[in-house]
DNA sequence: CGAAAATATTTACATTGGCAACATCAAAGC
DNA sequence: GCTTTGATGTTGCCAATGTAAATATTTTCG
């Protein structure tokens, strides 16, 4: 039986990140603690200290992995879609879908309360996630698409819109059950913006 | 001297809320604790229990007061402004201004991690805040202003946009110093939407 | 006045993150 | 092969936190 209990774990660092994400999925952000993560992996609560300076560093690593999956979720269905409105819809849907399916992880990712945005790895992962929005906002036409900072303004508009919707939905202000009734889903808002004739 | 130390505070409940807000302003959300709030008022850390069932209830009361001020900030400069684009700008500017000036309180208000949105008082205050956005979104013209759910969709768009921008700015993704440079301020985005000819 | 309710304190306890000292293992040198 | 050294993990401890129970003080009111 390969399930011997060894003194050394062997691959603790990524295991802690995985355990943290698992707790977020199963129990939520409130239940995420250093001791809970360590306990889930089967080590003492001080073992993570050999790989992460403190809890914040571990949470930042969890957030980094979150951004990787977040970017992947947005790119899902984006690769095979030809340029145009469908790409916009696919990416924004991916953004919201990720937030809905992994609410605790999403909340952790975007809160400086948990994540250290000065961390180079986190920053790189977050930028790669932002790059998707940047990409699809290219050529997007809307009332503010004019002037010198057009591209930047368009990115900001799109990011704010999607991010705001996701967070409001997460906090219960926009309930999932009501979204088709009282509250319109994001896909009924975003696609109103059209791309220019290329 | 009227500064006698009495056994009974006399008006502890609102004093706790004020103390909590003061800590948020001066020290931030991380330093907000039941004991810190009680200590600031000058009572033992169990005294709040006579007025609030637990910490969450106290934080909810703080959030409620936050929403009242939030609505007031949006209405600032709105009263004397005639209907039209200036109203849109005044309200959204108030939204962002409040978030920037009171970042910790704002974060607390919109996180279910701290506030209980089932609380009737909080809900009422939050709705009154939302009502301002609802009001100014009436008659707003934009690419999605068509179809049966037009008003609702417009509210959602505007709320998501402003709220998303505020949160991204708070988390450092949009830095205040750069806002006029790399990142456009919200007032350069929102006013692109025009009102219909009435 | 005196009882009851409201309000505040003291003491205790479980959880949490962090630290220091020690234990165990694995890999590198001799 | 043996030892030494560094990496990795554990135990015991501490301060801070929120909650609870028992007690003390003040106010209210019959």
Residue A68 pLDDT = 98
A133 and A189 assigned to the same domain: yes
Instruction: Look up residue A47 and give its DSSP letter.
Output: G
B142 and B189 assigned to the same domain: yes
- Domain of A17, CATH number, reads 1.10.10
A36 within some domain: yes
> Does residue A182 surpass a pLDDT of 70?
no
- Domain of A127, CATH number, reads 1.10.357.10
What positions of strand C are covered by protein, i.e. any atom < 7 Å from a CB? 6-11, 15-21, 24-26
A56 within some domain: no
A100 touches strand D (CB under 7 A): no
A185 within some domain: yes
B4 within some domain: no
B187 within some domain: yes
Residues on chain A touching B88 (C-beta within 8 angstroms): none
Residue A169 pLDDT = 83
State the pairing for strand pair B194-195/A194-195: unpaired
Structural domains in chain A (count) = 2
Go through B129-166 and write b for each residue having 16 or more CB atoms within 10 A of its CB, e for each that does not. bbebbbebbeebebebbeeebeebbbbbbbbbbbbbbb
Q: Which domain holds residue B143?
A: 55-195
Residue A194 pLDDT = 60
B44-CA/C13-C1' distance, Å: 17
Residue A189 pLDDT = 62
Instruction: Look up residue B140 and give its DSSP letter.
Output: E
A102 and A34 assigned to the same domain: no
Element (H, E) at B151: helix B150-170
A16 and A91 assigned to the same domain: no
Query: Which residues lie closer than 8 Å to B111 by C-beta, 6 or more apart?
Result: A107, A171
B22 and B120 assigned to the same domain: no
Using the beta-carbon criterion (under 8 Å), do A160 and B165 form an inter-chain contact? yes
Contact with chain B for residue A157, Cβ under 8 A: yes
Q: What is the pLDDT of residues A42-83, one digit of tens each?
A: 999 999 999 999 999 999 999 999 999 999 999 987 877 766
Substitution target in B30, B184, B193 with the highest count of A β-carbons within 10 Å is B184
- Burial degree of A129 (CB within 10 A; 0-12, 13-18, 19+): buried
Residue A186 pLDDT = 55
What positions of strand D are covered by protein, i.e. any atom < 7 Å from a CB? 7-12, 16-22, 25-27
Using the beta-carbon criterion (under 8 Å), do A161 and B156 form an inter-chain contact? no
Q: For strand D, which residues in window 26-55 of chain A come within 7 Å by CB?
A: 38, 42-47, 49-51
A3 within some domain: no
B91 and B169 assigned to the same domain: yes
C-beta separation of B52 from B61 below 8 A: yes
Residue B186 pLDDT = 55
> Does residue B85 surpass a pLDDT of 80?
no
Measured N-to-C along each axis, helices A55-75 and A120-136 cross at an angle, to the nearest 10 degrees, of 20
> Does residue B2 surpass a pLDDT of 50?
no
Residue A149 pLDDT = 73
d(CA A177, CA B16) in angstroms, rounded, equals: 37
**Chain B: nearest CA to A144, how far in angstroms?**
5
A129 and A41 assigned to the same domain: no
B111 within some domain: yes
C-beta separation of A125 from A64 below 8 A: yes
B80 and B175 assigned to the same domain: yes
The tally of CA atoms less than 13 A away on the side-chain side of residue A24 is 23
B122 and B96 assigned to the same domain: yes
A46 and A86 assigned to the same domain: no
B109 and B182 assigned to the same domain: yes
B131 within some domain: yes
3-state secondary structure of A193: coil
A148 and A79 assigned to the same domain: yes
B7-CA/C2-C1' distance, Å: 22
């Amino acid at each position: 039986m390969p399930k011997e209990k060894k003194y050394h774990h062997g691959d603790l660092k990524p295991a802690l990140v995985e355990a943290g994400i698992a707790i977020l999925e199963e129990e939520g952000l409130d239940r995420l603690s250093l001791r809970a993560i360590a306990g889930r992996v089967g080590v003492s609560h001080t073992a993570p200290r050999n790989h992460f300076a403190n809890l914040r560093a571990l949470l930042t690593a969890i957030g980094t992995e979150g951004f990787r999956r977040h970017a992947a979720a947005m790119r899902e269905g984006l690769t095979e879609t030809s340029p145009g409105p469908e790409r916009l819809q696919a990416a924004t849907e991916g953004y919201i879908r990720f937030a809905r399916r992994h609410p605790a992880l999403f909340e952790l990712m975007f809160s400086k309360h948990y994540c250290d945005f000065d961390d180079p790895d986190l920053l790189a992962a977050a930028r790669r996630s932002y790059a998707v929005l940047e990409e699809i906002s290219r050529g997007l036409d809307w009332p503010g698409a004019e002037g010198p900072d057009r591209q930047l303004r368009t990115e900001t508009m799109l990011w704010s819109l999607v991010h705001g919707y996701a967070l409001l939905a997460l906090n219960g202000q926009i309930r999932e059950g009501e979204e088709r009734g009282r509250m319109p889903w994001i896909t009924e808002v975003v696609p109103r913006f059209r791309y220019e004739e290329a």
